[in-house]
Amino acid sequence: MNLKQCYRFYTIVKVLLQYGLDELIPAKPFTRSIRLARRLFFWIRPQHQDQALGIRLRLALQTLGPIWIKFGQMLSTRRDLFSAEMADQLALLQDQVEPFDGEIARREIEQALGGDLSQWFDDFNPQVLASASIAQVHTAKFNANQPEAGQEVVIKVIRPAIRPIIEADIALMYKLARLIPRLSEQGRRLRAEEVVREYEKTLLAELDLCQEMANAVQLRRNFAQSEMLYIPKMYEQFCRQNVIVMERIYGISVSDIEGLKQNGTNMQLLAERGVQVFFTQVFRDSFFHADMHAGNIFVSYQHPENPQYIGIDCGIVGSLNQEDKRYLAENFLAFFNRDYHRVAQLHIDSGWVPADTNVQELEQAFRVVCEPIFAKPLAEISFGQVLLNLFNTARRFQMEVQPQLVLLQKTLLYIEGLGRQLYPQLDLWQTAKPFLQQWLNDQIGVKAMYRNLQEKMPYFRAHFADLPEALYQALQQQSVISQQLHQINQRLQQQAKAEQRQRYCLVLTTLLWLGTLSKIEQLPLWLSLSGFILGGIFALLGLKKQK
């Protein structure tokens, strides 16, 4: 580490100690060393001891800055790693930081687009519309030179020189993460390096706004003409790695419950549509918005009796392959039918746990953890909590962390919390079950087989003409392989016979020599010599065969 990195590392450790986070380390000898180091090197005493550990962790991350705030937000979704109280505190972290100067933003945008803003836009507002740790947004209008003249737009621009800052702090996070497993068994269970790696991947992806634009275009295409979800239009000709331009939208924040009610919004339908949007994205499209917190979701002012969501900030998305979707849907259905044997078997069949896992032991583990959940009415059962319980239990059976499933579980928790905030009587199971059942029927039934055959028919037609030649070549190869196997078999048989003759020769040699030696005093000289010579001949024959 250079001097600057050393100072930053010192600052990070000092803040963590200042908030007494060494309490997270259970190893007593090490804890005593930390307390001594706090006084010798950092000149601080424990502070904020009157506050809960989760609150202190949140305050420490706020003190360390926006990159650590986003890290805390991500950790708040990993309820498999932290207690509910600590995760709830981390969820309170807000990614709101001071904006950088509007003229600097203008300069960054002009440099990215390669010209003065007046070539394309009127009314560029240097006052920031919203600001976060990675980027901020400004408003403008297309000028008369553009096909959509007068259209209000939002310009999003990455903070200048943010990448080196992120990379430096990520490198220090890795150093801290490598220390954690050495401190305790609990530290090893946290898989700290894996968590940092996941965060690094997410954060660096957010630095590429072209990726965000591509995600938004895909989501918009998936929900074209949909009454449930609207994704603002992206203007691809203005897309750069650090700048994107999109349609400006107006809506009510989904967290503004009073505002939604005053607008006459059908709250029950809105809540149910949130669940339907999520399951449609996951199971129909295999492409879901994985950052659906309240700051990224709005509700259109128009048609409050038939409310429509508006989704922005598509930097983080997730996807599931066909097998994962099928196993997930069957897991939910088996769980709500309390068929824990089926749940266990699905985890093994999917490869989420090792193939040699004892299905009865896994079934019993699921039963112990999940059965108490049914003490609640079905309407109060949390899908996200079900997934969390299943994954936590499966980890005891060496289930590997599946990043796409972690994203799914996080998003599902957001959707559930949002739905019940909008309409507390929301019954997620009744809303989701028909969708899951219909999807499974579509995937497994006769119609699904016919559809798969239709989809593959162009491939079959394209390669049908090659089938006779491929069949002839396969038969020729089979004939060659059969001949080679016959030759190998003959050689093995000859070798076996040779080894058998060798053993006989050596046995006869041994018997002749031992017999001659045992009777040498009683036999005539010529007979003794004959026995040794004959044994020698058999020995030579055996050695010859061995060569």
Each residue's pLDDT tens digit, 188-232: 666 778 888 888 888 888 889 999 999 999 999 999 989 999 999
Q: Is residue 87 part of a domain?
A: yes
Residues 501 and 356 in one domain: no
Higher pLDDT, 320 or 23: 320
Residue 324 lies in a domain: yes
Alpha carbon 417 to its chain's center: 21
User: What share of residues in the chain are helix, strand, coil (percent, to 5)?
Assistant: 65, 10, 30
Q: Annotated binding site: which residue ranges?
A: 129-137, 156
Q: Examine the domain organization and report whether 21 and 90 are in the same domain.
A: yes
Q: Is residue 313 flagged as an active site residue? A: no
Query: Domain ends where: 175, 203, 231?
Result: 203
Tokens of 296: 């990224």
State mean pLDDT over 116-140.
92
Q: Given CA atoms 148, 149, 151, 154 in this order, what sign does their dihedral have?
A: positive
Q: Give the torsion sign (CA, 48, 52, 58, 61).
A: positive
Instruction: Collect all residues with Cβ–Cβ distance below 8 Å to 428 and sequence separation of at least 6.
Output: 275, 379, 381, 382, 383, 416, 419
- 369 occurs within a structural domain: yes
Calpha distance 308→270 (Å, rounded): 7
- 376 and 520 fall within a common domain: no
166: nearest Cα among 190, 136, 202: 202
Question: Which one is catalytic: 291, 313, 324, 427?
Answer: 291
Are residues 272 and 429 in contact, defined by beta-carbon separation less than 8 angstroms?
no
Strands 288-289 and 317-318: antiparallel
Judgement on whether residues 183 and 64 belong to the same structural domain of the protein: yes
- Neighbouring residues of 314: CB distance < 8 A, sequence distance ≥ 6: 212, 215, 216, 219, 231, 289, 291
Domain around 501: 479-546
Domain boundary among 399, 425, 445: 445
Domain co-membership, 43 together with 192: yes
Q: Is residue 330 part of a domain?
A: yes
Task: Please check the confidence at residue 526 and state whether its pLDDT lies above 70.
Answer: no
Residues 181 and 78 in one domain: yes
Q: Looking at the predicted structure, is the pLDDT value of residue 544 above 80?
A: no
Residues 48 and 177 in one domain: yes
Query: 């700048």: which residue's tokens?
Result: 243
What is d(CA 433, CA 379) in angstroms, rounded to the nearest whole number?
Answer: 12
Same domain, 367 and 513: no
Given 172, 203, 234, which residue is the final one in a domain? Answer: 203
Residue count of the chain, please give it: 547
- Residues 197, 82 share a domain: yes
Average the pLDDT over 76-103 and give the result.
77
Give domain status of residue 336, yes or no: yes
Same structural domain, 80 and 196: yes
Of 544 and 169, the structure prediction assigns the larger pLDDT to 169
Residues in Cβ contact with 117 at an 8 Å cutoff, skipping those fewer than 6 apart: 106, 109, 110, 124, 140
Task: Please state the residue numbers annotated as binding site for ATP.
Answer: 129-137, 156
Q: According to the model, what pLDDT value does residue 547 have?
A: 45
Query: Which one has a higher pLDDT value, 171 or 472?
Result: 171
The whole-angstrom separation of Cα 472 and Cα 291 is 54
- Answer with the residue of higher pLDDT: 335 or 116: 116
**Average pLDDT estimate for 333-347:** 88
pLDDT band for position 124 (cuts 50, 70, 90): very high
Domain annotation covers residue 453: no
Q: Are residues 493 and 540 in the same domain?
A: yes
- Determine, yes or no, domain membership for 220: no
Please check whether residue 493 lies inside any domain of the structure: yes
Same domain (yes/no): 45, 182: yes
Distance set, CA 349 to CA 191, 335, 387, 437, 452 (Å): 25, 16, 17, 20, 22
> What is the total count of domains within the chain?
3
